[in-house]
């Protein structure tokens, strides 16, 4: 799939327009309700589906399948990000009316970081085929780590970026204004809102390290890699407020994502080995799409069934 310069420019311009709409929505601090979150989430998902349909019609079936497969994986990883975002906002006590602004900054930071990582990853793959092997091994390692860490809640307040910021910047515990910096005692001081923003940007770096190798396991076309990431991140702010009440019900999502990362890692390793020794089988794209859909469907259904089960009744106390 060869993408001309004008298509790159038009796509970037369209994404900038969508980002501008999201920024306009978050200009006024307010608590986002379910209705508003549902409407804007539907708008961004519809935009991704229309774009994917355009890729399918103009570039053929394989490119369309790559886009939709990549979008599913990246969107699922983005939903996993929301678990950590919820922990960050809770640990720093960011008021509900200011959370949209913090999340918007986080999404913009993620877009920039992933753009940089995509450019570096694409250049490395074009120059060194063994990059596929390194990406695959990294994803397998990440999948195992994610599987083993299920249920652990990160201590964001004591993370290295936050400790470093506290060391050099005067702090205040007052975040009621929603500002990143306030003047108190004649000095500019960082608020909990700034700390939460820094923490989310640091989390973005970690998640970008996972998501970029994952999408390169589905397609090595830089245009599709960029657009799947962009559409997965757009509307993430609205999706957070839509799913915030459901996050605790997706109890098996971490396991499903761990399986997906491991599967894509194996796919990358086999892809590299197939290029060196053609007798080694490679995983075809239709099978990848089927596995991705199956894992996500089973994970979601199993999570919802598990969370609907009533808790077992407490055993009555027996006096000795």
Q: How does DSSP classify residue 171? A: B
Closest to 1 measured CA to CA, from 225, 198, 163, 151:
225
Q: Report which listed range, 49-58, 168-177, 292-301, is most confident.
A: 49-58
DSSP-assigned states of every residue in 188-251: EEE-HHHHHHHHHHHHHHHHHHHHHHHHHTT---HHHHHHHHHHHHTTHHHHHHHHTTTGGG-T
Residue 60 above 80 pLDDT? yes
Confidence at residue 318, expressed as pLDDT on a 0 to 100 scale: 46
Confidence at residue 130, expressed as pLDDT on a 0 to 100 scale: 84
d(CA 183, CA 201): 24
pTM of the model: 0.77
Average pLDDT for the chain = 80
Confidence at residue 244, expressed as pLDDT on a 0 to 100 scale: 73
Confidence at residue 53, expressed as pLDDT on a 0 to 100 scale: 94
- Quick one: average pLDDT of 96-122? 81
Residue 100, C-beta contacts closer than 8 angstroms, at least 6 positions apart? 25, 26, 29, 30, 32, 237, 241
Confidence at residue 27, expressed as pLDDT on a 0 to 100 scale: 66
Residue 46 above 90 pLDDT? yes
Among the residue ranges 63-67, 170-174, 316-320, the one predicted with the least confidence is: 316-320
Residue 204 above 80 pLDDT? no
């Amino acid at each position: 799939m060869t993408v001309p310069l004008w298509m790159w420019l038009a796509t970037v311009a369209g994404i900038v327009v969508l980002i501008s709409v999201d920024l306009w929505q978050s200009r006024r601090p307010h608590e986002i309700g379910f209705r508003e979150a549902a409407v804007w989430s539907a708008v961004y998902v519809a935009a991704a589906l229309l774009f994917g349909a355009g890729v399918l019609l103009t570039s053929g079936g394989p490119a369309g399948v790559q886009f939709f497969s990549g979008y599913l994986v990246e969107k699922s990883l983005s939903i996993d990000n929301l678990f950590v975002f919820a922990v960050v906002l809770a640990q720093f006590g960011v008021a509900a009316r200011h959370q949209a602004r913090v999340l918007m900054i986080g999404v913009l930071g993620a877009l920039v970081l992933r753009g940089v990582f995509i450019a570096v990853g694409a250049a490395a793959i074009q120059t060194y085929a063994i990059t596929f092997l390194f990406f695959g091994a990294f994803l397998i390692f990440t999948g195992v780590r994610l599987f083993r860490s299920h249920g652990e809640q990160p201590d964001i307040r004591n993370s290295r970026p936050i400790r470093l910021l506290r060391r050099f910047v005067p702090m205040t515990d007052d975040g009621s204004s929603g500002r990143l910096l306030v003047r108190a005692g004649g000095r500019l001081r960082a608020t909990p809102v700034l700390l939460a923003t820094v923490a989310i940007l640091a989390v973005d770096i970690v998640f970008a390290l996972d998501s970029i190798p994952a999408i390169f396991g589905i397609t090595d076309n830089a245009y599709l890699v960029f657009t799947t990431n962009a559409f997965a991140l757009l509307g993430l702010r609205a999706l957070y407020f839509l799913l915030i009440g459901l996050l605790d019900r997706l109890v098996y999502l971490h396991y499903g994502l761990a399986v997906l990362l491991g599967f894509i890692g194996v796919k990358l390793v086999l892809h590299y080995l197939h290029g060196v020794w053609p007798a080694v089988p490679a995983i075809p794209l239709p099978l990848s799409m089927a596995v991705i859909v199956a894992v996500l469907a089973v994970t979601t259904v199993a999570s919802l069934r598990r969370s609907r089960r009533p808790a077992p009744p407490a055993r009555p106390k027996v006096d000795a």
